[in-house]
Amino acid sequence: MMLRNIGLDSSARFAFQSHAHTDHFVSGEVIFATKATKYLSHLRKGGFYREVEFAKTFYIGDFKAKLYPAGHMLGSAGIKLWLENGTLFYTGDTKWFKLRTAEKSRFPKADVLIIEATFGVPSFTFPSPREAEKKLVAFVEEALDRGKRPTLYVNQMGKAQEVMKILDVHGITVRPSREMLKVARVYSKFGVKFGNITHEGDVVLRSYRSPKVENSLSPWELTVSGFGRLKLSNHADFWELMKIIEKVKPERIFTVYGFSREFSRILTGLGYEAHPIDKDSDIYGLLF
């Protein structure tokens, strides 16, 4: 989105990048992001990053701004901006419940909310991360008890490290891909340590690319994703999104990504002023 000449997860001379997933990569003269997002992004791309700490006021162009942990993966952030006529908060990709490897999310009050809608329909109801964790560990332990080698399909950045940490806590060794290992090294720099990575690890971690893989899996293979069989998601489900809205208490809502149209329709039905927007929309034009 563009806010006058500032990019929010969009390329612009001054751009804010919420987190290090490639679909949120931006280019610009100066990219504002957390230190972890900078380090993780630099695994795959260049760019001049201006590091910003959570909860510290800074200026992006001539707007006062502050970052809040988004809870989606290490370093992920939402941004609050002070505009001429009120405040705006953009969530980026976000999670209400705490994951083991992401900072605990926080949400400020704001007049206008731009909220992700990846899972913005009630049919997406996920178990809590702790419940999902129990299911994951039970699956792995059953496979190992039967002498099978479990394989988990996970997103290489964020989800892989979350799963590695969960298994570490339960004393189970893992065999991640080279890319997952690179990301894990950056996580370690920020205090998220893994003591369970070995070449002969009990659990094989493979890159998850498409839900289509689901049909061709053996009983000892599992996809770990909001779209997969084990719903340990680093996105908010519909009900988490509603909690976030209650916390921000916005007068106007814009929904973006995923089920943005459906989510806006539902919110309108609940009495909110809500509109879907495109990830390339000019927000400023919509506000004033």
Minimum distance of Zn ion from residue 252's CB (angstroms): 24
Report how many residues bind Zn ion under the rule CB under 5 A: 2
Residues 215 to 254 in contact with Zn ion, rule: CB under 5 A = none
159 binds Zn ion (CB under 5 A): no
Of the candidate spans 90-98, 159-167, 224-232, 270-278, the one that interacts with Zn ion by CB under 5 A turns out to be 90-98
Identity of the residue, 93 or 202, whose beta carbon is nearer to Zn ion in the bound complex: 93
Identity of the residue, 93 or 133, whose beta carbon is nearer to Zn ion in the bound complex: 93
Minimum distance of Zn ion from residue 276's CB (angstroms): 19
Chain centroid to CA 258: how far? 13
Residues 95 and 235 sit within 8 Å (Cβ to Cβ):
yes
Minimum distance of Zn ion from residue 81's CB (angstroms): 20
Of the candidate spans 15-23, 57-65, 128-136, 219-227, the one that interacts with Zn ion by CB under 5 A turns out to be 15-23
Identity of the residue, 94 or 281, whose beta carbon is nearer to Zn ion in the bound complex: 94
Identity of the residue, 21 or 175, whose beta carbon is nearer to Zn ion in the bound complex: 21
Identity of the residue, 19 or 66, whose beta carbon is nearer to Zn ion in the bound complex: 19
95 binds Zn ion (CB under 5 A): no
Query: Rounded to 5 degrees, what angle do the CA atoms 237, 242, 244 make?
Result: 95
Chain centroid to CA 4: how far? 25
Minimum distance of Zn ion from residue 37's CB (angstroms): 11
- Tokens for 194? 């893994």
Of the candidate spans 33-41, 52-60, 63-71, 93-101, the one that interacts with Zn ion by CB under 5 A turns out to be 93-101
93 binds Zn ion (CB under 5 A): yes
Minimum distance of Zn ion from residue 72's CB (angstroms): 6
Of the candidate spans 36-44, 91-99, 122-130, 166-174, the one that interacts with Zn ion by CB under 5 A turns out to be 91-99
Residues 16 to 75 in contact with Zn ion, rule: CB under 5 A = 21
Residues 150 and 222 sit within 8 Å (Cβ to Cβ):
yes
Of the candidate spans 13-21, 80-88, 225-233, 269-277, the one that interacts with Zn ion by CB under 5 A turns out to be 13-21
Contact positions vs Zn ion (CB under 5 A): 21, 93
